[in-house]
Amino acid sequence: MRYKIGDVSRILGISTDLLRYYEKKGVVTPQKDKNNDYRYYDTWDINFLIDCLWYKNFGFGIQQAAYLVTECYHGDLVSLLEEKQSEIEANIRRQQLLLGRMKKHLDDVLRVKDCIGVCEIGQSPDIVCYLNRFNFTYDNRDELLDLSRQWLDYMPFTQRYFEIPQDGLKGEGDDYAWGFSLSTEYVEALGITVKPPVVHNPSKMCIHSAFKSSGKNAFTPRHLDPILEYASKGGFKIKGRAQGNLVCSVLEEGVMTGYFEVWLPLE
């Protein structure tokens, strides 16, 4: 049985352009009708095309699939399959990390509303962080641009991270800094080097709480005043800067509202 190019395209669900490409690569050798120049394919050709689709669905490129079907010796086939297996395993590890990160983010989003204004004593997370915005100014020195882009590439494993210095907590200033934080569990997995300006913030005993801020440029250290009042009434002494992260931003009553989680370290 002979099949025209359109018939093969319908049988296999591939474009005629791809069929012509495989012909160019020698995967198939259709017979040409001398009278009308039509190409005719037989089942032998279709078998090779199915083999190409087999490898393509493993993630091999079109050109590589054509090579595997027409020019590949046994040793080369084993090497290429082992290489692809390693690539798939790496992708699975990445997807497992991504799934874990999604579960953690969903959990944070679900519970943050219940944490607003609630103060608890507990351990802060063990993180590494990188600050690159101070108040409204980004530190865009040339020597830091590559590092900043690297941290953008680490998303979504990172969190939007902020720090408020102790004088801001005391009401003596309104400065703050923004950047990114990353749980130490991801540091090795992502191959991150921890050296200045990237720093390690180990877990410490803190007051933990959450707050929200609505509208443009409304973020301020004064959002932490209720937490400081809790510390004062409880006889707790704050030691060092506050650190926290943006959990999510949502629309509330027509205004974008950020939900933030924060830790204030104790003596």
Average pLDDT over residues 123-146: 92
What domains, with CATH codes, occur in the chain?
A: 3-72 (1.10.1660.10), 103-265 (3.20.80)
52-105: pLDDT as tens digits: 999 999 999 999 999 999 999 999 999 999 999 999 999 999 999 999 999 999
Residue reference for tokens 């591939």: 14
Please state the pTM of the whole predicted model: 0.83
| Residue 218 contacts residue 170 (beta carbons within 8 Å) | no
| Residue 221 contacts residue 172 (beta carbons within 8 Å) | no
Percent of the chain predicted with pLDDT > 90: 82
- Take residue 27 and report the two structure tokens written for it: 């995967």
Average pLDDT over residues 8-37: 89
| Residue 28 contacts residue 45 (beta carbons within 8 Å) | yes
